[in-house]
Structure 1
Amino acid sequence: MARRPTIKDIARRAGVSESAVSFALNGRPGVSEQTRARIRRVTEELGWQPNSAARALSGERSGAVGLVLARPAHTLGVESFFLQLVSGIQEVLSAERIALLFQVVEDIEAECAVHRRWWAERRVDGVLVVDPRTNDPRPELLAGLGLPAVLIGGYGGEGDGEGGDGGGGEGPSVSRVWADDTRAMTEVLDHLHGLGHRRIVHIAGLPGLAHTARRVAALRAEAERLGLPAGQVRSVPTDYSDTEGAAATRRVLAEPEPPTALVYDNDVMAVAGSAVAAELGIPVPGGLSIVAWDDSALCRVTHPRLTALVRDTAGFGRLAAEELLAVLAGGPPRARESELPRLEPRESTSPPPAAY
């Protein structure tokens, strides 16, 4: 195995002392410009890179940011959202030669423990936080540690119930980037209502997530505004997986008065629900309309193609990474809104059956 080059190797190759190499690499006076240039040329020839752990111990930045995901691991391999999100994050970080340290844990308590450990070890310069919870403990924890952070998906308004926003208009304690789930859900329900649907079920994601709570609340509020009976428009929680999405679909379609339209919180569950409808002999959209949250290739290659909410998820990741870099540069915590997801009607939605 090849040995990593050291400062001693650079000094030997350049014909200077180790202290001269240290001065040159750290931009300190004490060496001539000619010597500094020779030392830098040698470091490139040897492929030398600074030791991130040593830099952290000396008070310099680690050159890495962290991302912890507290979700069931089996849900990650089938959902495209996080892959697209991370690709956008990486696009920004790699341009700045910043590494992304990623870890999956079982729950929010374990995630908080990872954040404390990373802070104590100076492993990362800042963190990106996903899946905001209702009464989320993480913003307060990170603000208390002084660890720069950006909450991805956190609502930008006051009193959002996610914790750590300071309350009373004081502004967020950590930066956050967000999309307006409330307006997006309102657009979905208005589309289905306009087609004539009155029995609509929302196959939701994990309960306890702030964006799940917002979507559920938006569905209920818009149904009330439209004068729809409470029992005819409701939400059913799942874990985002195709297995639970299919099981929830099977349960609601077996009811005495089944829904004529289903809204799924991700593309994977929507495709699984479409397969269940086919298995039960229910035509889509003639007997059941389907809408997916977050468009993907799955929605576009399924037959019929699924009506979906379209947004630039990679762009969402880029916005989050850019905001974290701004915080690391000394910027204040702030809330930034990404583009509003837009509904793209396709072949999976139509008026309900005539018998309805």
Structure 2
Amino acid sequence: MRRTPARRPTIKDIAQRAGVSESAVSFALNGRPGVSEGTRNRVRRVAAQLGWQPSTAARALSGEGSATIGLVLARPASTLGVESFFLQLVSGVQEVLAARRLGLLFQVVPDLEAECEIYRRWWAERRVDGLLVVDPRTDDPRPALLTELGLPAVVIGAMNTHPGGEENTTSESHLANLWADDAGAMASVVDHLHDLGHRRIVHVAGLPELVHTQRRVNSLRAEAERRGLPEVRSVSTDYSDSEGAAATRRLLTGEHPPTAIVYDNDVLAVAGLAVATERGYRVPDDLSVIAWDDSVLCRSTHPPLTALSRDTTAFGQHAAEQLLAMLDGEAGTRVQDTLPHLLARGSTASPAEPTLG
């Protein structure tokens, strides 16, 4: 059953509960003279009971909105410094918001619980008019919370609740979804490697709880089963260069090292390439390497990395445009964005028997 979004408490609500005028509430909450100390204390007590928070923007006080969009990223801050995806995504978002004279409120937090708490606080304080939500989880509490709060939001990335690929209206008019087909992209990667003759393929994946990670893992498994490839698997990391290097080192020192490794971002791939070179592997003769997200990093290595490419800036623009359409009164929709395409460069080739001692 669809729940009615919660309503933010107002000065009028406090006045009714405390039995005073709205002007008295304003005086009490803003520390202005004109009310007794007893009234001031009673008003503040009622405000706390109702969960009222002061607005940080004058436009919000006038009922016109905050003119701000929120984006919270629940990832280790140490993994963001060199990862180009989010920088490109935010630049696309900002380009669209700037045209409408809207601001972007961005915050990095350690986990999902902290992210949800920020949403509650921003809602109570009227800090944002809408949200861009990234990294959908396999068991994600955020859609239910946003439904409860009634905050317009665009979820960027595939959601578990929508397995199909067609555009459609979401079940909640204030929620929209923009996604790309990770499963189809992974299938194109396996096609490329299989056609080259690779049979031992490992996917160095990102965070396992993310829906897009699971879709890539499941697609790899399905493609391997379809082709009868038993030595194909995925391992998880946190997207950092240190874990990418450690995972690669374990794979290359194992009993049956892979002939091809697919990395879930450019940072992992560059770290893996460095480890392979350090251990005497010739890329691509002894090992083929593919990065999920193309970037200047992928084009600057030797050899340059084969990579899945898409216009991430445009992806951010599309997400922002969806959210603005909702703020203009349209219902939330689910839209599939352009499928990432594989750019073959010098890091992939047919496998040769290793000449390592």
TM-score, L = length of structure 2: 0.80
Displacement of 1:183 in angstroms is 0.2
State the one-letter code of the partner of 2:107. Answer: Q
Judge conservation of contact 1:150–1:176 (CA < 8 Å) in 2: yes
Residue 64 in structure 1 maps to residue 87 in structure 2: no
Find the residue that maps to 2:351 and give its secondary structure.
Answer: coil
Q: Counterpart of 2:109?
A: 105
Judge conservation of contact 2:326–2:332 (CA < 8 Å) in 1: yes
Displacement of 1:78 in angstroms is 1.4
CA–CA distance in structure 2, aligned partners of residues 109 and 52 of structure 1: 23
Displacement of 1:101 in angstroms is 0.2
CA–CA distance in structure 2, aligned partners of residues 345 and 172 of structure 1: 39
Residue 349 in structure 1 maps to residue 353 in structure 2: no
CA–CA distance in structure 1, aligned partners of residues 121 and 282 of structure 2: 52
Q: Counterpart of 1:333?
A: 332
Residue 114 in structure 1 maps to residue 113 in structure 2: no
Judge conservation of contact 2:266–2:298 (CA < 8 Å) in 1: yes
For residues 106-149 of structure 1, what are the alpha-carbon distances to aligned partners after superposition, in whole Å with 9 as ceiling and x for unaligned? 10011000001100110000000011101211111111111000
- The share of aligned pairs that are identical, in percent, is 66
State the one-letter code of the partner of 1:54. Answer: A
Q: Counterpart of 1:24?
A: none
Judge conservation of contact 2:160–2:211 (CA < 8 Å) in 1: no
Judge conservation of contact 1:126–1:149 (CA < 8 Å) in 2: yes
Shift in CA distance, 355/275, structure 1 to aligned 2, threshold 3 Å: closer
User: Aligned match of 2:99 in 95, 98, 109?
Assistant: 95
Displacement of 1:57 in angstroms is 2.0
State the one-letter code of the partner of 2:296. Answer: A
Find the residue that maps to 1:67 and give its secondary structure.
Answer: strand
Judge conservation of contact 1:156–1:337 (CA < 8 Å) in 2: no
CA–CA distance in structure 2, aligned partners of residues 317 and 156 of structure 1: 21
Q: Counterpart of 2:145?
A: 141
State the one-letter code of the partner of 1:127. Answer: L
Q: Counterpart of 1:175?
A: 176
Q: What is the 5 A alignment of 1:206-225?
A: 206-225=207-226
Residue 128 in structure 1 maps to residue 129 in structure 2: no
CA–CA distance in structure 1, aligned partners of residues 77 and 200 of structure 2: 33
Report the RMSD for the aligned CA atoms in angstroms.
1.7
State the one-letter code of the partner of 2:272. Answer: G
Shift in CA distance, 320/156, structure 1 to aligned 2, threshold 3 Å: farther
Judge conservation of contact 2:200–2:258 (CA < 8 Å) in 1: yes
Residue 152 in structure 1 maps to residue 151 in structure 2: no
Q: Counterpart of 1:39?
A: none
Displacement of 1:214 in angstroms is 0.6
CA–CA distance in structure 2, aligned partners of residues 282 and 242 of structure 1: 19
Count of paired positions: 296
State the one-letter code of the partner of 2:192. Answer: H
For residues 316-337 of structure 1, what are the alpha-carbon distances to aligned partners after superposition, in whole Å with 9 as ceiling and x for unaligned? 0000000000011111111111
State the one-letter code of the partner of 1:203. Answer: V
State the one-letter code of the partner of 1:242. Answer: D
Displacement of 1:159 in angstroms is 4.7
Shift in CA distance, 93/226, structure 1 to aligned 2, threshold 3 Å: same
Displacement of 1:158 in angstroms is 2.8
State the one-letter code of the partner of 1:337. Answer: Q
CA–CA distance in structure 2, aligned partners of residues 340 and 269 of structure 1: 21
Judge conservation of contact 1:260–1:287 (CA < 8 Å) in 2: yes
State the one-letter code of the partner of 2:98. Answer: S
Find the residue that maps to 1:235 and give its secondary structure.
Answer: strand
For residues 48-72 of structure 1, what are the alpha-carbon distances to aligned partners after superposition, in whole Å with 9 as ceiling and x for unaligned? xxx9622212221100010000000
CA–CA distance in structure 2, aligned partners of residues 196 and 157 of structure 1: 36
User: Unpaired segments of 5 or more residues in structure 1?
Assistant: 1-50, 161-168
Find the residue that maps to 1:281 and give its secondary structure.
Answer: coil
Displacement of 1:301 in angstroms is 1.1
Q: Structure 1 stretches (4+) deviating beyond 4 angstroms? A: none
State the one-letter code of the partner of 1:236. Answer: V
Displacement of 1:157 in angstroms is 7.0
Residue 316 in structure 1 maps to residue 320 in structure 2: no
State the one-letter code of the partner of 2:150. Answer: G
Displacement of 1:338 in angstroms is 1.1
Q: Counterpart of 1:285?
A: 284
Judge conservation of contact 2:138–2:160 (CA < 8 Å) in 1: no
Judge conservation of contact 2:288–2:349 (CA < 8 Å) in 1: yes
Find the residue that maps to 1:100 and give its secondary structure.
Answer: strand
Q: Counterpart of 2:49?
A: none
Judge conservation of contact 2:79–2:240 (CA < 8 Å) in 1: yes
Q: Counterpart of 1:247?
A: 246
